[in-house]
Amino acid sequence: MARPQHAGPKTAVVTGASSGIGAATARLLAAAGFHVVLGARRLDRLREVAESAGAGGTATVLALDVTDSRSVAAFCDQVGECHLLVNNAGGALGLAPVAEADEEHWRWMYDANVLGTMRMTKALLPKLVASGAGHIVNIGSIAGLEVYDNGAGYTAAKHALRAVTQTLRLEMNGMPVRVTEIDPGMVETEFSVVRFGGDEARAAQVYRGVTPLTANDVADAVVWAATRPAHVNVDQIVLLPTDQATAMRVHRADETGTDRL
């Protein structure tokens, strides 16, 4: 299929852009010349990200809750052209064994990580195809590649997201849309604070004695994949801190042995 040349800046939509990986991705994409459309529930935080991403109309801020179909529809209706969709919204709640699982936590994790990605992709896919060189980047996790104790709700959701991404790659074969999955390990953002219900002390223990990835490390991978030539599809990138070999094996400076997230 012919891929027309695009005049002017390309448009990138980033979900979950109010903090962490999403915010860092928005800033680096803007620096790379994209017009970024930022979506999240916290508009005040989005505006701060947009200001730091650049001036001169390089960023647009729109309210978005990927777990709400009406919010997704309203958001996507306001997006004009779309060349890149970064499905970053999602996260984890709790760290309990299956025997003590919180059904609402599991429901939210599946809704945000899997159904939210489906809603955004479905809504924007016509615009991505129409661009002639569209690209979908799904932010997965090492939790989509392996499992760990007490993490079944989150690992199940990220395994499902990986299946969706791989299936979409098959479905887009022959279409002018690339599909990339980026799977980071330990990244020091608000992720663990949210997971532990705002318990910052407990969240800090996740990164004790470790030099984790930063949000910019992951965002840099997003931008690299997105700026390859249109005939190059980066299927998957797995990013881990040097101190982390697997989800269950983490080297900490203050001890020796195996640890888990």
Residue 244 lies inside a defined structural domain of this protein: no
Cα separation of 70 and 174, whole Å?
31
pLDDT, tens digit, for every residue of 118-129? Answer: 999 999 999 999
- Measure the CA–CA gap between 159 and 141, rounded to whole angstroms: 9
Domain assignment of residue 54, given as a range: 11-239
What is the pLDDT at residue 38? 96
The whole-number pLDDT of residue 152 equals 95
169-182 CB burial, b ≥16 within 10 A, e <16:
beebeeebbbbbbb
The answer as to whether 138 is a domain residue is: yes
| Position 126 in a domain | yes
> Which pLDDT does position 233 carry in this prediction?
98
Please check the confidence at residue 244 and state whether its pLDDT lies above 50. yes
- Judged on CB neighbours under 10 Å (0-12, 13-18, 19+), 254 is exposed
Predicted confidence at residue 8, as pLDDT, reads 72
Q: How many domains does the chain have?
A: 1
Identify whether 184 is part of a domain. yes
Q: What is the mean pLDDT of residues 146-173?
A: 97
Catalytic residue positions, numbered: 154
Average model confidence (pLDDT) across the chain: 89
Contact status, residue 196 vs residue 156, Cβ threshold 8 Å: no
Distance of CA 149 to the CA centre of its chain: 23
pLDDT of residue 69: 97
pLDDT band at 54 (very low <50, low <70, confident <90, very high): low
Q: Which of 115-124, 136-145, 185-194 has the lowest mean pLDDT?
A: 185-194
Q: For residue 84, give the CATH number of its domain.
A: 3.40.50.720
Asked if residue 251 is part of any domain, the answer here is: no
pLDDT at 261 over 80: no
pLDDT digits (tens, 9 = 90+) for 26-44: 999 999 999 999 999 989 8
pLDDT at 256 over 60: no
Q: With cut-offs at 50, 70 and 90, classify the pLDDT of residue 205.
A: confident
Is residue 253 in some structural domain? no
Say whether pLDDT at 178 is over 70.
Answer: yes
pLDDT for 223: 97
Q: Please give the pLDDT value at position 2.
A: 38
Q: How confident is the model at residue 55 (pLDDT cuts 50, 70, 90)?
A: very low
For residue 252, being part of any structural domain is answered with no
Whether residue 166 lies inside any domain: the answer is: yes
Bridge partners of 236, per DSSP, are 181
For residues 57 and 227, give the distance between their C-alpha atoms in angstroms, rounded to a whole number.
21
pTM assigned to the model: 0.89
Distance CA 220, CA 217 (A): 5
Q: What is the pLDDT of residue 51?
A: 85
The answer, yes or no, to whether residue 46 has pLDDT greater than 80, is yes
